[in-house]
């Protein structure tokens, strides 16, 4: 019984990571705005420090995709066990 729960949880985690990768690629490729440049870089000391703003809501979403997948996998394993499913080795 435990093996089925672990297997389904790992499978759900992998599906969550795969979903996160696909969503990230779609965001980068199709939803990004084109950037117009003049193909010249002029250094300016007033802009010496570079800061990257990371939105916390996107970090939360990125962490929740695999967790939600793992929880759904575990819940589906619990439901399957209740209906009589089990993992066995060999011909038993």
The pLDDT of residue 88 is 78
Burial class of residue 25 (count of CB atoms within 10 Å of its CB; 0-12, 13-18, 19+): exposed
Indicate whether 78 pLDDT > 90.
yes
Q: Alpha-carbon distance 66 to 74, whole Å?
A: 12
Indicate whether 13 pLDDT > 90.
yes
Task: Answer yes or no: is 7 within a domain.
Answer: yes
Binned at pLDDT 50, 70 and 90, residue 14 comes out as very high
Domain count, the chain: 1
Binned at pLDDT 50, 70 and 90, residue 48 comes out as low
Task: Answer yes or no: is 11 within a domain.
Answer: yes
Q: Alpha-carbon distance 17 to 31, whole Å?
A: 20
Task: Answer yes or no: is 35 within a domain.
Answer: no
State which residues form the domain around 11: 1-28+53-87
Indicate whether 22 pLDDT > 70.
yes
Average pLDDT over residues 57-80: 89
Crossing angle of helices 2-29 and 56-82, in 10° steps, is 150
Task: Answer yes or no: is 46 within a domain.
Answer: no
Task: Answer yes or no: is 73 within a domain.
Answer: yes
């Amino acid at each position: 019984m435990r093996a089925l729960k672990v297997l389904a949880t790992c499978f759900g985690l992998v599906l969550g990571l795969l979903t996160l990768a696909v969503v990230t690629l779609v965001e980068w490729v199709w939803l990004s705005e084109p950037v117009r440049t003049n193909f010249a870089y002029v250094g300016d000391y007033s802009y010496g420090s570079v800061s990257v703003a990371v939105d916390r809501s996107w970090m939360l979403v990125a962490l929740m995709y695999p967790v939600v997948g793992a929880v759904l996998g575990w819940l589906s394993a619990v439901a399957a066990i209740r209906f009589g499913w089990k993992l066995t080795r060999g011909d038993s």
